[in-house]
Chain A
Amino acid sequence: MCILPLLNNQGILKKLKLNEKNELNLIMEKQRYERPFIVKLNAGLMNKFGTRAENQPVTHIESVSIKGLLKEFGSPLFVISEQKIRRNYQNALRIFKTRYPKIQFAWSYKTNYMNAVCRIFHQEGSWAEVVSGFEYDKAIGNGVPGNKIIFNGPDKSDNDLIKAASNQSLIHIDHYDELYSLIRLSEERNLKPRVAIRVNMDTGIYPKWDRFGFNFENGQAWNALTRILSNSHLELVGIHCHIGTFMLSPEAYKIAARNLCELAWSAKERFGIMIQYIDLGGGFPSINTLKGAYLPGSDTVPSLDQFADAITDVILGYGFKQDELPLLILESGRALIDDAGYLLGTVLATKRLSDGRRATIMDFGLNSLFTSLWYEHKISPAQKMSDQTEEMIMFGPLCMNIDIVRESITMPMLQKGDQVVVHSVGAYNMTQWMQFITLRPNIVLIDTENNTHIIRKAENLAYLEQLEQLPEHLK
């Protein structure tokens, strides 16, 4: 027996059924249901930009069905598109390479240190940028040669420094205590580490990031450089800065590039040493919308071309001879990975709050979607829904008042079991997520041929308890 469902324009479901005598019978079925809905009309109060309704369904990532992914790997589920990562990387490289001859990207491990993700970047030619001993070991484990690992951050133990120095890694010194530790260790062990200093400065942005590195304006950075250049155990190879995160002003990078060029120029003039590289760090934004922003990120975030123009114009115009031009290193993380990551989830329940607002409870919250603290994430339904939309508050599943995914979002009328896609979650979520109340879900990679691979398994109780120990008297 065969049944063919048909839908007419009133949404009435009919089925053509083939009976035993091979005759076609038309069966009238029930109409498609939509929850009753009423909204008060407020004339004259409209935002002049209108309310954005995220009601375009997103049913596939690359060519893979979202319904199928959730069925196979469970909900919630992080999904990463390898193709998107490669496209983002190649696009960024092209943007900088067409403006400046010597470019090197270094993958910012803290942004997303899933080994599969790191290896895609390394395959594309990225070095590694790490900020802790364990990230350093991860980079080595991913096959990155020691001399292509940049070691940033204020926390490097003596063992970390010895390891990095022995591997010829690029050690970016953050403070005087680290500088003196490194000098002592190098003298004791007869090492010659390759070093740079991190410089902080006033680029006109707020808040000023002056907690990392040596200050430019008060002369501290130059003093640190002088100290390094006059020490026979240290080899000064570069100068580094990272002026902030989610920077929306290319102008700030101009100032940063000019200040680093000035330090490099002074080192050349006074010590006759040409710095090998200038590292402008990262901080380029993704198209996410920051909380409190008046317009969506897609309308306000400057393009990577604008940042590239700002940086390369300054370096090329500074006066270095062609063969003296320093290598330009970029540690971009978020801008290369954010839109390659998706979080798929399911509606657990809907309810109405005491003030009449509609509330939707999802099976993911800020424990897995940490960036919901910073962004108004774009969220789309994953199935075709009616055109009727409603404003709602979207909660996560945690039994915690702070667990809010979106304080206000206009979406189709979601109900239990409906599936959604959260966009641009590739940066920071898979490193800053918390194992809190619920277990962390699977992460799946869609490769360039649309095959799916679990790159991190969903956690279970055994995983969670493996490091716990019970004292004898509690056993």
Chain B
Amino acid sequence: MRVRKNIAANEEGFLFNPTTGDSFSTNSIGVEIISLLKKDISLRDIVDELYEKYDVDRALLERDVEDFSLQLKEFSILE
């Protein structure tokens, strides 16, 4: 699971796919997840990292990250 190379993303949460012309908006935790995915970090490790940082129930975080990754796939941001 890898972020497509041509996807442009900035720190404010704006994403652009030059191939399709689609643009997206995400929140700050979304930016974090995408930047970790860009570094080829697995979803499992991403959950570990976020769990250390955020005040959240682990099961909820796992579910939310999985749901987010499914959306990224749906939007063709992930390969």
Contact = CB atoms under 8 A, between A and B. Distances in A.
A305 interface: no
B70 interface: yes
A189 interface: no
A34 interface: yes
* Consensus secondary structure, chain B interface: helix
A232 to B, nearest CB: 78
Contacts of B74: 356
A35 B25 contact: no
B26 A33 contact: no
Given A41-B23, A356-B71, A415-B60, A36 B55 contact: no
B8 interface: no
Contacts of B77: 38
A388 interface: yes
Contacts, number: 66
A27 to B, nearest CB: 13
A390 to B, nearest CB: 10
B27 interface: yes
Nearest to B28: A34
B54 A32 contact: yes
Given A37-B27, A39-B25, A352-B70, A30 B53 contact: yes
Interface residues of A, number: 21
Which of A32, A41, A43, A352 has the largest number of chain B CB atoms within 10 A? A41
A31 B55 contact: yes
A208 B45 CA distance: 65
Interface in A346-375: 352, 356
Given A38-B24, A41-B23, A43-B23, 9 more contacts: A30-B55, A31-B53, A33-B29, A35-B29, A36-B29, A37-B30, A38-B75, A39-B24, A356-B71
Interface of B: 15, 22-30, 33, 52-56, 60-61, 64-65, 67-68, 70-72, 74-75, 77
Interface of A: 13, 29-41, 43, 352, 356, 386, 388, 415-416
15 contacts: A13-B55, A30-B52, A30-B53, A30-B54, A33-B55, A33-B56, A36-B26, A36-B29, A37-B30, A37-B68, A38-B24, A38-B77, A39-B25, A41-B23, A388-B27
